[in-house]
Amino acid sequence: MKAKFQIYKSTERNYYFFRLIDESAEIILRSEAYTTISACKNGVEAVKINSIYRSKYDSKMATNGKHYFNLKASNGQVIGTSKLYLSMTVRDKRIDLVQRIAESADLEDLSD
What confidence score (pLDDT) does residue 112 get?
A: 79
Q: Per-residue DSSP letters for 90-102?
A: HHHHHHHHHHHHG
Task: Judge contact between 46 and 73, C-beta under 8 A.
Answer: yes
Nearest to 78 by CA among 32, 27, 9: 32
- The pLDDT tens digits of the residues spanning 76-106 come to 999 999 999 999 999 999 999 999 999 999 9
Give CA–CA dist 52/5, Å, rounded: 16
Mean of all residue pLDDT scores within the chain: 95
Question: Of residues 112 and 103, which shows the higher confidence score?
Answer: 103
pLDDT band at 64 (very low <50, low <70, confident <90, very high): very high
Q: 38: part of which helix (H) or strand (E)?
A: helix 37-50
Would you say the pTM of this structure is higher than 0.85?
yes
Query: What residue ranges define each of the domains in the chain, with the CATH number in brackets?
Result: 4-109 (2.30.29.80)
